[in-house]
Structure 1
Amino acid sequence: MTDLTDDAELVRASRQAWGALETVHVLSYFAEEVTAAFVALGLRPRLSYFAARSAAFGAVGPEVPTATFYVFAPWLHAKALPASWSAASPDEVQQARRDSMGVVLERVLGDVDEVELAELLGLVRTACEGLRPPGRPLYAAHAGLAWPDDPRVALWHAAGLVREHRGDGHIALLLAAALDPVESLVLNGLFARNTPFLKATRGWTDEEWAAAEQRLVARGLVSGGALTEEGVAFRKGLERDTDRLALEGWAHLGLDGTRRVVELAAPLRQRALDSGILPGWTTSRRA
């Protein structure tokens, strides 16, 4: 695959920047305050995820998130949508998400230096200005939303744009590699050491999971319930190519700016990890 740039330092720094921002953004999927806000609207706790992440598309049915989220069993989408829109509109879900994340970020980030926060937000917004929507449906939907006024929530929103842009590119690579949703999960679970979490949350049966593992065994990527040497190299290659496809925003910001994002976001990442909100495996994911 052709690099968008020959600058290996920018690739490395961009991955570190994404990783720090990602840790802050995903608080929204685990924080009790966010789930409580959705329940107050009438959404079901476990299924609120599907309404929250797809609300940027409008009142869609299950087909859109089945396509764009990729790795969840279709029956989960069908249980959540369009039923969730009978309880709350997409705009109401979006507002509840932002309001509750304001509470979460105030608690987790605490007395963060406001000057540094403003600098970080400005840098990440500059990176977001370099992101392009073609072929990036989840990114495009979220990029169409108004920016929050609260700087903490605005940083969370910016991190979400970076996340969804990168994720859209990753799904394109999964398709190119002929990995179906369950096979992708099996590989990722073994690579990131979070298989129990994925099996508990993605909705596939044990039989579907076992069948996918056997297909990966036939491809030489898995053996004895673990990644083979070829499987590790294959999965690392997917990550490298995902980083390259996600590079355009960071190239727009430049290497110095991207390094400054890493520097400024690192303490926020640590506060998110120390908050107790995130699953334990997030602290030891393989880079």
Structure 2
Amino acid sequence: MARIVYVNGAWVDETEAKVSVFDRGFLFADAIYEVTAVVGGKLVGYAGHAERLKRSLDSIGIPHPFTDESLLALHREILARNNLTDGAIYLQISRGAEDRDFFYSDDLTPTFVMFTQARPVLDNPKWKTGIAVITMPEGRWANRQIKTVQLLYSSLSKMEAKRQGADDVLFVEDGVITESGSSNAHIITKDGTLVTRALSNALLHGITRASILDVARNAQIKVEERGFTPEEALEAAEVFISSAGAFVMPVVSIDGKAIGDGKPGPMTARLRDLYIEYELAHAI
């Protein structure tokens, strides 16, 4: 059954959806996106995603083509139109379309697209096995706190990881891990401290990351926001990544070297349980 997608104010069959070939999102990656997980027909962490969407649009000067009320209503309607119970809602907003030029008009009408992806969210088989990652030099643009569609380097890096038999990458800049290919990165030290890189332009300000730090502190788990090296990650008790799609995903090896005993650790599982419990209680 084809999905119903939202394109510039219209609900259309996915096979009929069209965007201009002159759209700046297509020509220049001049666009912002967001992803919100759906569990049991409810939106997970929606408020954080909606606020980050507005911050990202403001950061590159794209006007908001929605009100707070209309944006939430669109999320609810796309759930209903597609009978989505578990999965994700993706939205993408570009600056708009006009003839190709590096300069752009100040009065463009943004292109606004939304679609759903159905998939199990609370039954991820990788939670049981963990994932393998490789390290690669950081090669993305400097303003990674803005959630733009400039994902080519991440895509190429993930494909290289796949060719090497791994699942994802950890980007390294000036000797320190920034994040993974599409998630924030964390370690658990041998004394039980949760370490994650402090917020800056070097990494996306993850909504899942923020919730994990909150539930960790509420559970009296010590938290340090600082950089850490690949060597420190290899010596850690546990390593995991976090995102709206993966929630809390254990990393069991880096560059072919096992983390601990090479199996998902108990602290990662505990943090995932605490995160899921909190988010499901607040899902809307």
Larger proportion of strand: 2
The TM-score normalised by the length of structure 1 is 0.27
The TM-score normalised by the length of structure 2 is 0.27
Higher relative CO (Cα under 8 Å, sequence separation at least 6) belongs to: 1
Larger proportion of helix: 1
